[in-house]
Amino acid sequence: MTRMLRVLCGLYLIACLTLPTARAQSNQQASTASSAAEEAHKIPVMDGAAGPCALDLTVTSAEGKPIYAAVIKVHIAYGFAGARRLDLQAATNVDGKVKFIGIPAKVKRPPLEFQGSKDQLVGTVTLNPETVCQAHHDMRLAAPKADEQKQ
């Protein structure tokens, strides 16, 4: 009887020691998965550090589905005689979102042209920061038309 009691106590002790470790590992895996999901939905922000204006973009396909890793580029000339220049580029998150901040309120040749691309799809959105400083636009990427491909 005492031998059986010792065996049961030993098994109980082993179970008590391994159970918290197994729970901690499963909690750590769950937190790693949730932080990766949060990171994928975090909106990328490109800061030009040249002014108060901003643009929030949502990039979708022609079917309206968000496009992940679409590259958005913009060239900004500003300041006296357009002597200062910025070339900004950012990629969208899994929700097709990206944000540009720090855009100057006065640019040399408004409007600014934000050009997006992903594989064979392209799209454009314009922003005149002199008239609308804080803007949100949707950009649809589609295959270029035949006359645009020749250029």
Residue 9 phi, psi (nearest 5): -65, -40
Judged against a pLDDT cut of 70, whether residue 57 lies above it is answered with yes
Would you list the domain boundaries of the chain? 1-39, 45-144
Q: Sorting pLDDT into bands at 50, 70 and 90, what band is 145?
A: confident
19: left (phi over 0), alpha (psi -120 to 50) or beta: alpha
User: CATH number of the domain at 45-144, please?
Assistant: 2.60.40.1120
Residue with tokens 């108060």: 52
What does the alpha-carbon distance between residue 85 and residue 108 come to, in Å, rounded to a whole number? 10
Find how far residue 119's CA is from the centre of its chain: 17
Tell me the pTM.
0.73
Query: What is the Cα–Cα distance from 14 to 26, expressed in whole angstroms?
Result: 19
Q: Give 14-55 pLDDT, tens digit per residue.
A: 656 555 554 545 555 555 656 777 888 899 999 999 999 999
Cα distance between residue 82 and residue 136, in whole Å: 25
